[in-house]
């Protein structure tokens, strides 16, 4: 029956196209392909301000993504934010005196944690704590300081002028 | 008084219709096992419901994606954020437009055809003829069509979204000069498999279920005259559109309510 055969082929093509586009959505569009669960180790860093950092934000070293933020909690005793990060276990040779900073990608981009290597011979491992941290730069705070500073400078320079008279 | 009599009558009418349609649905679902024994029936319906909707879905998806690319680019470039065009196109397609527009097109293309077909079968007494031959028309006619619609809808919606994203990329990076790598990588970083893709697929499964149910029931329940069939076909398209959009709101509120 040739008619049934073409019908079979067409339905087969249709189903294949549908499933292929589902795979396309899963792999190309969403982040399923970068899902590497299990092969990670956890490190902790304490920031006095973690800014707009979110769970699943990137953790990078030298601009390369090496892990992601697992949880962010507030420590009510020290008033610090405790950020737990999962690092891909292939990067287990990071020195344990590395420093962590919260940076912003671009002016208005996402915030991420950047790890900068230190000089220690011991490496970060499961459960390590990062001692040296730099907090996020809060744009409003920085702007406020800048405005305040420039106003001060103006004031002092106009005071100088008055003093000369 | 006349008004209340009318209101009461229409309430009674809608309740009996609801009851009939629920009974119809249970019958249809219980007929599915016998469809699986005869996959040839299912394949034939997959062809008329799915394969023949393939073209309208892909072409509409392509154009919807291209329009999203254009409009998104004009707005995003005002804020200097053209790089996030991919996120905008993909998120709106995968979360909303893919399932909803594909389901609306499906209701117009396949749903109306199903209603007209079954209504005419009823008008020309083919269904009664089958019963005379001791063939259950629900098992033989309705269930395969229901299953075909139910299975085709998620595939069509996924196709719509995928083609739309490619259309957005064609316009965005081909025509307007958005960086190709940024288009894909931003999309990749900001869309979640669980939250976006799976929820979109769940939506399209629900829409496929509801649209097939409405189309088949309206056909089966149609008054067996030329006018009755034409009215049933209209009702299929109108009711499907209402239920798709209403359900979409409810599902969105449930799925994306908390971050």
Domain ranges of chain A: 2-32, 37-144
pLDDT, residue A58, reads 81
pLDDT, residue A164, reads 55
Mean pLDDT of A24-34: 71
- Judging contacts by C-beta atoms under 8 Å, the chain A residues touching residue B158 are 18, 21-22, 25
pTM: 0.76
In B, minimum Cα distance to A8 occurs at B43
Mean pLDDT of B7-17: 91
- Tell me the average pLDDT of chain B: 90
pLDDT tens for B69-128 read: 999 999 988 887 878 888 889 999 998 999 999 999 999 999 999 999 999 999 999 988
Residue A1 pLDDT > 50, yes or no?
Answer: no
Q: Does A5 touch chain B (CB under 8 A)?
A: no
Residue B169 pLDDT > 70, yes or no?
Answer: yes
Find which of A18, A20, A27, A37 to mutate to test the B interface (most B CBs within 10 Å of its CB). A18
- Judging contacts by C-beta atoms under 8 Å, the chain B residues touching residue A32 are 193, 197
Find which of B188, B204, B205 to mutate to test the A interface (most A CBs within 10 Å of its CB). B188
Q: Which stretch of A22-31, A39-48, B249-258 has the lowest confidence by average pLDDT?
A: A22-31
- Tell me the average pLDDT of chain A: 80
pLDDT, residue A31, reads 66
pLDDT, residue A36, reads 52
In A, minimum Cα distance to B83 occurs at A109
Mean pLDDT of B21-44: 89
pLDDT, residue B64, reads 94
Q: What percent of chain B has pLDDT over 70?
A: 99
ipTM: 0.79
Of A18, A24, A31, the CB nearest to B192: A31
A11:B46 CB<8 A: yes
pLDDT tens for B176-207 read: 888 888 888 878 877 878 788 889 999 999 99
In whole angstroms, what is the distance from residue B17 CA to residue B2 CA?
A: 22
Q: What percent of chain A has pLDDT over 70?
A: 86
Find which of B42, B44, B46 to mutate to test the A interface (most A CBs within 10 Å of its CB). B46
Confidence band, pLDDT 50/70/90 cuts, at residue A162: low
Q: What percent of chain B has pLDDT over 90?
A: 57
Helix%, strand%, coil% for chain A, nearest 5: 35, 30, 35
Q: A155 or B216, which is more confident?
A: B216
- Judging contacts by C-beta atoms under 8 Å, the chain B residues touching residue A7 are 43-44, 47
Q: Does B155 touch chain A (CB under 8 A)?
A: yes
Mean pLDDT of A21-35: 73
pLDDT, residue A163, reads 60
- Across the beta sheet with A99-104, what order do the strands follow? A129-130, A40-47, A80-88, A64-75, A58-61, A111-116, A99-104, A132-134
Question: Residue A61: which of A24, A13, A17, A95 has the closest Cα?
Answer: A95
Burial of B153 (0-12, 13-18, 19+ CB in 10 A): buried
Of B43, B81, B159, the CB nearest to A21: B159
Q: B96 or A35, which is more confident?
A: B96
Residue A3 pLDDT > 70, yes or no?
Answer: no
Confidence band, pLDDT 50/70/90 cuts, at residue A94: confident
Q: How many CB atoms within 10 Å of residue A15?
A: 16
On whether the CB atoms of residues B119 and B137 are closer than 8 A, the answer is no
Confidence band, pLDDT 50/70/90 cuts, at residue B145: very high
A17:B161 CB<8 A: no
In B, minimum Cα distance to A106 occurs at B81
Give the gap in angstroms from C-alpha A116 to the nearest C-alpha of chain B.
23
pLDDT tens for A99-146 read: 888 888 766 667 888 888 878 888 888 888 888 888 877 777 788 888
Confidence band, pLDDT 50/70/90 cuts, at residue B60: very high
- Judging contacts by C-beta atoms under 8 Å, the chain B residues touching residue A18 are 50, 152, 154-156, 158-159
Domain spans in chain B, listed from the N-terminal domain onward: 60-254
CA distances, B105 to each of B20, B113, B153, B246 (Å): 26, 12, 10, 16
Contact pairs from chain A to chain B, CB under 8 Å: 80
């Amino acid at each position: 029956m040739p008619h049934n055969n073409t019908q079979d082929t067409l339905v087969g093509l249709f189903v294949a196209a549908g499933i292929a586009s589902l795979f396309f959505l899963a792999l190309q569009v969403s982040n399923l392909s970068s899902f590497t669960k299990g092969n990670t180790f956890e490190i902790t860093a304490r920031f006095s301000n973690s800014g707009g950092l979110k769970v699943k934000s990137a953790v990078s070293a030298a601009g390369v993504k090496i892990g992601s933020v697992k949880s962010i909690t507030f420590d009510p005793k020290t008033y610090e934010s405790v950020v737990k990060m999962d690092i891909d276990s292939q990067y287990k040779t990071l020195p344990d005196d590395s420093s962590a900073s919260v940076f912003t990608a671009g002016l208005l981009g996402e915030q991420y944690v950047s790890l900068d290597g230190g000089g220690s011979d011991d490496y970060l491992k499961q459960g390590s704590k990062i001692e040296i941290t730099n907090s996020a730069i809060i744009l409003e705070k920085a702007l406020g300081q800048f405005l305040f500073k420039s106003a001060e400078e103006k004031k002092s320079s106009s005071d100088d002028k008055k003093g000369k008279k | 008084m006349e008004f209340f009599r009318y209101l009461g009558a229409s309430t009674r009418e809608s309740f009996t219709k609801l009851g009939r349609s629920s009974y119809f649905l249970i019958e249809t679902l219980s007929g599915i096992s016998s469809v699986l024994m005869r996959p040839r029936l299912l394949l034939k319906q997959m062809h008329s419901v799915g394969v023949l909707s393939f073209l309208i879905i892909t072409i509409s998806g392509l154009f919807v994606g291209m329009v999203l690319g254009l409009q998104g680019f004009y707005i995003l470039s005002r804020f200097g954020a053209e790089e996030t065009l991919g996120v905008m196109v993909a998120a709106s397609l995968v979360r909303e437009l893919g399932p909803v527009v594909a389901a609306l097109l499906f209701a117009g293309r396949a749903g109306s055809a199903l209603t007209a077909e079954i209504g005419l079968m009823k008008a020309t007494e083919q269904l009664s003829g089958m019963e005379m031959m001791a063939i259950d028309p629900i098992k033989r006619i309705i269930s395969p069509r229901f299953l075909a619609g139910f299975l085709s809808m998620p595939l069509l919606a996924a196709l719509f979204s995928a083609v739309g994203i490619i259309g957005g990329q064609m316009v965005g990076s081909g025509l307007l000069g958005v960086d190709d790598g940024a288009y894909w990588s931003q999309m990749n970083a900001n869309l979640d498999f669980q939250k976006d893709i799976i929820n979109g697929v769940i939506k399209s499964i629900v829409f496929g279920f509801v649209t097939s149910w409405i189309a088949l029931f309206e056909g089966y329940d149609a008054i067996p005259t030329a006018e009755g069939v034409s009215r049933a076909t209209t009702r299929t398209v109108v009711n499907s559109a209402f239920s798709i959009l209403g359900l979409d709101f409810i599902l969105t509120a449930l799925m994306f309510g908390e971050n």
